[in-house]
């Protein structure tokens, strides 16, 4: 069996006395699209923060392509091919769309805030940025300040920033939150396109998106995974119906 892209073993997180993540074991395969669903406050974003080392776990391990990430900094994990977006839009609104993506590419290549002269001359960097703008359908918006884009376009830009470093494991936290149906469809197609052949781990509330996109789903309730499996199996699971899906599916109507 090949090494999983991501493997969580006995992962726990307490904030003070509150047990927020209560022992998670999960293995996500290479090129799998995996959705994490569950009620508000279940610990989905916290789980993301543990995987990407924004918080140290209280117990347990995270492995990326078989490598234990314990003790690594977020940027070191990023360099190993894992990249994430945040639940709240996280772009530089005054910089242009082009500059936002270029900045992400630069960062991924290890440059920080110097080298701007070099940057302007770097054709490779410009071409790389343009290729990403094409992928996220924002080539015709490249010179606009990012803050002037529509909300859906800003989320698309954010996805571009997330994939810019060429990561092979992409984590998106509620990429379609607050969108209309048509915007949601648009972003779902975009996600499918840009994560082709990559591992995707996504927190998502919209069940249409989850069932359309995920190979497997994990249901997180009060810091525990109560079910993991193919969409149809998870949908039919009485435990899931009771704890979450019944209410979530009703909310769609
Ligand atoms: N830094 C922190 N310090 C203390 N408590 C925290 C911290 N971060 C999250 N929590 C708590 O952990 C619980 C889980 O929060 P989390 O944001 O992970 O949930 P979520 O599943 O992402 O919810 P939502 O669907 O609303 O985004 C909440 O009760 C939250 O208040
Ligand atoms: Mg969250």
The predicted structure's pLDDT at residue 88: 75
Q: Are residues 90 and 73 in the same domain?
A: no
Domain contains 218: yes
**Contact 41 CB / ligand 1 (< 6 Å):** yes
pLDDT grade, residue 146 (50/70/90)?
Answer: very high
Q: Are residues 59 and 91 in the same domain?
A: no
117, 148, 166 — which closes off a domain? 166
- What's the total number of domains in the chain? 2
**Contact 84 CB / ligand 1 (< 6 Å):** no
142, 166, 190 — which closes off a domain? 166
The rounded Å distance from CA 54 to ligand 2 centre is 14
**Contact 43 CB / ligand 1 (< 6 Å):** yes
The predicted structure's pLDDT at residue 250: 63
**Contact 120 CB / ligand 1 (< 6 Å):** no
Q: Are residues 28 and 56 in the same domain?
A: yes
Average pLDDT over residues 237-252: 76
Domain contains 180: no
The residue to mutate among 11, 20, 35, 243, having the most atoms of ligand 1 within 8 angstroms of its beta carbon, is 20
Angle, to 10 degrees, between the axis of helix 151-163 and the axis of helix 181-194? 10
The predicted structure's pLDDT at residue 115: 57
166, 184, 218 — which closes off a domain? 166
Domain contains 205: yes
Domain contains 173: no
Which ligand is closest to the CA of 205, given by its number?
1
Q: Are residues 116 and 161 in the same domain?
A: yes
Domain contains 22: yes
The rounded Å distance from CA 176 to ligand 2 centre is 13
Q: Are residues 101 and 129 in the same domain?
A: yes
**Contact 15 CB / ligand 1 (< 6 Å):** yes
The residue to mutate among 11, 12, 36, 46, having the most atoms of ligand 1 within 8 angstroms of its beta carbon, is 46
The DSSP secondary structure of the chain, one letter per residue, reads -PPPSEEEEEEEEEETTEEEEEEEEEEE-TT-EEEEE--TTSSHHHHHHHHTTSS--SEEEEEETTEE-TT--HHHHHHTTEEE--SS----TTSBHHHHHHHHHHHHTT--S--HHHHHH-HHHHHHHHHHHHHTT-GGGTTSBGGGS-HHHHHHHHHHHHHTT--SEEEEESTTTT--HHHHHHHHHHHHHHTTTSEEEEE---HHHHHHH-SEEEEEETTEEEEEE-HHHHHH-HHHIIIIIHHHHHHT-
The closest residue, in CA terms, to atom 28 on ligand 1 is: 41
Q: Are residues 50 and 22 in the same domain?
A: yes
Residue 143, domain extent: 82-166
Pseudo-torsion of CA 134, 32, 21, 59, nearest 10°?
-110
Domain contains 8: yes
Q: Are residues 45 and 88 in the same domain?
A: no
The predicted structure's pLDDT at residue 107: 78
**Contact 46 CB / ligand 1 (< 6 Å):** yes
CATH number at residue 57: 3.40.50.300
Domain contains 172: no
List pLDDT tens digits, range 113-140.
Answer: 555 556 555 778 899 999 999 999 999 9
The residue to mutate among 19, 37, 38, 45, having the most atoms of ligand 1 within 8 angstroms of its beta carbon, is 45
List pLDDT tens digits, range 33-55.
Answer: 999 999 999 999 999 999 999 99
Q: Are residues 118 and 52 in the same domain?
A: no
Domain contains 187: no
The predicted structure's pLDDT at residue 18: 96
Q: Are residues 65 and 87 in the same domain?
A: no
Q: Are residues 161 and 111 in the same domain?
A: yes
């Amino acid at each position: 069996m090949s090494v999983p892209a991501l493997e969580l073993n006995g992962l726990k997180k307490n904030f003070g006395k509150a047990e927020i993540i209560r022992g998670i074991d999960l293995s996500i395969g290479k090129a799998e699209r995996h959705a994490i669903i569950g009620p508000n406050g279940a610990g989905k974003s916290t789980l993301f923060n543990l995987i990407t080392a924004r918080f140290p776990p209280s117990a347990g391990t995270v492995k990326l392509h078989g490598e234990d990430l314990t003790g690594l900094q977020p940027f070191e994990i990023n360099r190993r091919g894992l990249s994430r977006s945040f639940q709240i839009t996280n772009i530089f609104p005054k910089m242009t769309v082009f500059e936002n993506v270029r900045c992400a590419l630069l960062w991924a290549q290890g440059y920080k805030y110097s080298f701007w002269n070099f940057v302007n001359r770097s054709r490779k960097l410009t071409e790389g940025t343009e290729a990403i703008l094409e992928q996220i359908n924002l080539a015709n918006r490249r010179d606009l300040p990012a803050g002037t884009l529509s909300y859906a376009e800003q989320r698309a830009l954010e996805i571009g920033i997330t994939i810019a470093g060429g990561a092979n494991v992409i984590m998106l936290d509620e990429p379609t939150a607050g969108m209309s149906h048509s915007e949601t469809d648009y972003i779902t197609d975009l996600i499918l396109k840009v994560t082709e052949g990559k591992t995707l781990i996504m927190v998502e509330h919209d069940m249409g998106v989850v069932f359309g996109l995920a190979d497997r789903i994990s249901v997180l309730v009060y810091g525990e995974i109560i079910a993991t499996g193919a969409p149809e199996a998870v949908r039919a699971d009485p435990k899931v119906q009771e704890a979450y899906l019944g209410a979530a599916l009703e909310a769609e109507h």
